[in-house]
Structure 1
Amino acid sequence: MVKGGWLTMTRRKSGSLAVIPWTAVNTPDWFEWTDDLDLSLGASPRHMTYIVTAGGKPRSEKCASQWFSKACRAAGLENGKSAHGLRKLRASMFRENGASEDRRKAILGHETGAEAAHFSKSADMRRVISGTEFPTPASQSSKSAYK
């Protein structure tokens, strides 16, 4: 549910609560908010769920994941790109941008510090220490985070 600019949801797999800033007004600097999602949702038919079939029915988690991977292939992205990898990439970006472990846990719905650390382990430690202005060669980008 989106209320007051925040998306609050219960993760189906773990039952944990995730709270995500939905508008730029509420977004912390480390989140790197863009209006891409908001614009996409605004151009789509209204449903109670955000990812639906062509017939308007909610997609299952497994089907949504397969749909995402297929869309990545259709867009010409490398094989192996997945929604799960996108979560890991964002976790690493949040860590590089200075988000605390508690903040990463809250936004990604992680229960433990170990889970938050696992999801962000591909973060560039130079960026974690010095901030995101530190250049990273393309060959060292978060390859493993986006699988």
Structure 2
Amino acid sequence: MTKPPLKGKKPKYVHAYQDRHGQPRVYYNKPGQKKIALRGPLYSEEFWVDYHKAVEGKEIVNEGAGAAKTISGTIDAIVAKWYLSADFVNSAPATQRNYKSVIEPFRKEHGSKTAANLKNVHINAILDKRALTSTAQAKNLGKRLSTMFKFAVEFGLVASNPMIGVKKVKHEVEHYEMWADDEIAAFRAFWKDGTPQRQALEILIYTGLRRSDVVRVGPQHLKDGFIKIRSQKTGVDLNIPVHPNLTDYLVVGDKRHLAFIVTAYGGSRSEKAFTNWLKEAATKAGLPDSRSPHGLRRAACRALAEAGCTVWEIMSITGHQSVKEVEGYVADVDQAKLAKSAIAKWAKA
């Protein structure tokens, strides 16, 4: 983020004035581009958030919409301020959407309450009620509240953190079912080379990409023998060497589109549509209807582990940011294959 100029000297392309009603108006007005409204007042935190987004060409969505109308000291005010924080604004768009999907129901129910009155016993009751419906949702809410109230304490919005002493929600993580080797072979036998279904399977297996990245990856991401793409979910830059078995499948199905995987009409697929499409293809190949793109991502992790790759090497391919998550993915690798690989390395040494 560039250093803010001294007050009195407006940033480049910024136009500020008072309208006929005496209300301040601030715009980013770069020649040749559409004029963009920024939140004021000039030099405020909200202004700088919008200004830097405009400079970088990012869409401006007022994450803290309604912040000026919230009542100071309420939970609603803390949520609005958190949405404007550097940590939140600089996180990946997918992460922001995920966090807001968890926080907004909580905000709707408790936003008008005074934050100073919120204690750990209240949080325990809220999480316990949520856990009756879904332990996964309760656990996610607890994580997001911990992050938000840590911010609130650091910036003096509350005197104490109500999350201290909150009991942990017990939740068993349910992984998507991993594709077995014989299932992958059955899919390949049914969907021959040249079909988009086969192309999708090979890209998923030999890159380990998330579905959100698989639907975007195309020739523009190929450079010097690598697939170079920024993860939609985490914002991490991935550099994946092209596997020799993948080369023939990296062709564009429709020249009108930049992605490798497109619809029959040349359009891009959404994440959900892609998942449903691949699951339908797996079912037609005689596989269980639970076989999904994420299950192939797990299969890619397993294949890397069975090839003797370390957890860190696997993470460098898949873009995972949690060692524990990868370890969970490869917990059921073929022990015999690993043992054989280990002895082979030992004998060579």
TM-score by length of 1: 0.71
Distance 2:237 2:337 in 1: 28
Distance 2:297 2:291 in 1: 11
Q: After superposition, where does 1:2-81 map in structure 2 within 5 Å?
A: 2-24=222-244, 34=245, 37-42=246-251, 44-46=253-255, 47-81=257-291
Alignment check: 8 A CA contact 2:252 2:261 kept: no
Alignment check: 8 A CA contact 1:16 1:111 kept: no
Q: After superposition, where does 1:81-96 map in structure 2 within 5 Å?
A: 81-96=291-306
Distance 1:120 1:16 in 2: 22
**Structure 1 residues 20, 113: CA separation in 2 closer, same or farther (over 3 Å shift)?**
same
CA displacement at 1:99 relative to structure 2: 0.8
Provide structure 2 residue ranges, at least 5 long, that are not aligned to the other structure. Answer: 1-220, 344-349
TM-score by length of 2: 0.32
Alignment check: 8 A CA contact 1:17 1:106 kept: no
Pair 1:119 & 2:329 matched = yes
Compare CA radii of gyration and give the structure with the larger one.
2
Task: Read off the aligned partner of 1:8 and give its amino acid letter.
Answer: K
**Structure 1 residues 132, 71: CA separation in 2 closer, same or farther (over 3 Å shift)?**
farther
Q: Percent identity?
A: 29
CA displacement at 1:104 relative to structure 2: 0.2
Give the total of aligned pairs.
122
Instruction: Tell me the C-alpha RMSD between the 2 structures.
Output: 2.2
CA displacement at 1:129 relative to structure 2: 2.9
**Structure 1 residues 114, 96: CA separation in 2 closer, same or farther (over 3 Å shift)?**
same
Task: Read off the aligned partner of 1:85 and give its amino acid letter.
Answer: G
**Structure 1 residues 17, 115: CA separation in 2 closer, same or farther (over 3 Å shift)?**
farther
Q: 1:102 aligns with which of 304, 312, 332?
A: 312
SS of 1:8's partner is strand
**Structure 1 residues 58, 68: CA separation in 2 closer, same or farther (over 3 Å shift)?**
same
CA displacement at 1:23 relative to structure 2: 4.8
